[in-house]
């Protein structure tokens, strides 16, 4: 069995799907591993580190793709390389099937086995493969670091002979994996942290990290069976807006992390709320690429609205590509290992396995 990965479009994606540590694991399973030339050199990992393990390095992406049994990537290949994929090959990545429906359907028609890892079920056995959680964890951390770097005041309370500097107040909107890591990071750095989420199950998690959970009176529990947030009612949204409007007047830094899988990000922080925030405040919108949780959000721009800076990037993980690659590669390896029939040395698409059945795009 041959497994391969080629270099992503560096303007969009700096992460890689196979690190030297994981290449060694694939080889020990009996796979042949092929990578494109300078596959991870931008991360300080030279081709020689792969070669000494027994990995094949090639300048010809066409040969790598056409000869592979399994292709692992971060995202879909460009149209020029996607056309090289052929019947019975297995393609694994985070493929955003809601936005890439047409391209994915074309591949399914060619009888290519397409697995999109953001569709993993939230079950215990899938935790080691959970790409969304591993990457969101890093994103939540980095969003806080980026926000603090742009905030022009100290974060922790400081008591000096000249006077006391108060601690910065941080609000985290959405207490999923990214939000919880944002809370933990901001708290460790000395901020006073508040958080809000439509799922009441988040309250205990927020408070365990030292955050203060803001609850809408008469709240309804808006959590799907899979543990994600679902669309709120108009009545809930109105109550949430009132609570946020008052809270934001006192907040220095806001981290927005609210996403609904397969849908445009909910608009939570509206224009009039921002108009009443203090000048010098920062909003970091992790949902920017899906439309944003905040009015005025522009992807890859810092928008200054009367002194309030609104930030959002297309891929914040490009600022942590080595750490993100290490985690992603492990997630993918665990997924491929579950697909691989070691005895017969082949990919076994067992649809009785919930992990395989849920992630396979049919």
Catalytic annotation on 228?
yes
CA angle (42, 48, 53) in 5-degree steps: 120
Residue of 5, 73, 116, 133 with catalytic role: 133
Residue of 46, 127, 208, 314 with catalytic role: 127
Torsion over CA: 304, 310, 315, 317 (sign): positive
**Residue 70: alpha-carbon gap to chain centroid:** 23
Task: Tell how strand 56-58 and strand 169-173 pair up.
Answer: unpaired
Alpha carbon distance 141, 119 (integer Å): 23
Q: Does residue 289 contact residue 311 with C-beta atoms inside 8 Å?
A: no
Residue of 39, 130, 181, 197 with catalytic role: 130
Residue of 56, 122, 128, 245 with catalytic role: 122
Query: With b meaning 16 or more CB within 10 Å and e meaning fewer, what string describes 197-235?
Result: bbbeebbebbeebebebbebeebeebbeeeebbeebeee
Catalytic annotation on 130?
yes
Closest by CA position to 144, among listed 178, 104, 118, 119: 178
Residue 145: both structure tokens together: 């670091």
Catalytic annotation on 325?
no
Alpha carbon distance 169, 106 (integer Å): 49
88: β partners? none
Catalytic annotation on 50?
no
Closest by CA position to 45, among listed 321, 331, 330: 321
Collapse the DSSP code of 157 into the 3-class scheme (helix H, G, I; strand E, B; otherwise coil) and give the result. coil
195: β partners? 172, 213
Residue of 69, 228, 245, 323 with catalytic role: 228
Rounded to whole angstroms, the maximal C-alpha distance in the chain is 74
**93-100 own/partner pairs: CB under 8 Å, 24+ apart:** 93/17, 93/117, 94/118, 94/131, 95/361, 97/361, 98/261, 98/262, 98/263, 100/76
Could you list the active site residues?
122, 127, 130, 133, 228
């Amino acid at each position: 069995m041959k497994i391969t990965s080629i270099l992503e479009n560096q303007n969009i994606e700096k992460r890689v799907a196979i690190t030297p540590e994981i290449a060694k694991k694939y080889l020990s399973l009996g796979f042949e591993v092929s990578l494109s030339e300078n596959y991870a050199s931008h991360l300080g990992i030279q081709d020689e580190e792969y070669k000494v393990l027994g990995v094949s390095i090639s300048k010809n992406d066409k040969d790598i793709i056409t000869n592979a049994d399994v292709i692992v990537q971060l995202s879909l290949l460009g149209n020029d390389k996607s056309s090289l994929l052929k019947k019975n090959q297995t393609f694994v990545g985070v493929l955003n099937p809601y936005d890439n429906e047409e391209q994915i359907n074309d591949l399914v028609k060619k009888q290519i086995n397409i697995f999109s890892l953001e569709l993993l079920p939230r079950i215990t056995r899938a935790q080691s493969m959970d790409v969304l959680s591993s990457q969101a964890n890093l994103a939540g951390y980095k969003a806080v670091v980026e926000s603090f770097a742009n905030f022009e005041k100290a974060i922790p309370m400081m008591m000096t002979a000249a006077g006391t500097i108060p601690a910065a107040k941080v609000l985290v909107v959405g207490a999923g994996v990214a939000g919880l890591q944002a809370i933990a990071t901001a708290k460790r750095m000395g901020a006073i942290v508040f958080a809000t989420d439509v799922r009441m199950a988040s309250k205990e998690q927020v408070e365990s990290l030292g955050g203060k959970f803001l609850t809408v009176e008469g709240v309804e529990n808006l959590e799907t069976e899979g543990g994600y947030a679902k669309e709120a009612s108009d009545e809930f949204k109105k109550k949430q807006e009132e609570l946020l409007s008052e809270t934001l007047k006192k907040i220095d830094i806001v981290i927005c992390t609210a996403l609904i899988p397969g849908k445009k990000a909910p608009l939570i922080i509206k224009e009039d709320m921002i108009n009443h925030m203090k000048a010098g405040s920062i909003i970091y919108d992790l949902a920017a690429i899906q439309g944003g949780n905040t009015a005025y959000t522009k992807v890859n721009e810092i928008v200054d609205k009367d002194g309030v800076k609104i930030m959002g990037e297309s891929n914040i993980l490009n600022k942590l590509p080595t750490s993100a690659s290490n985690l992603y590669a492990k997630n993918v390896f665990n997924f491929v290992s579950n697909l691989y029939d070691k005895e017969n040395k082949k990919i076994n698409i067992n649809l009785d396995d919930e992990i395989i059945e849920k992630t396979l795009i049919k």
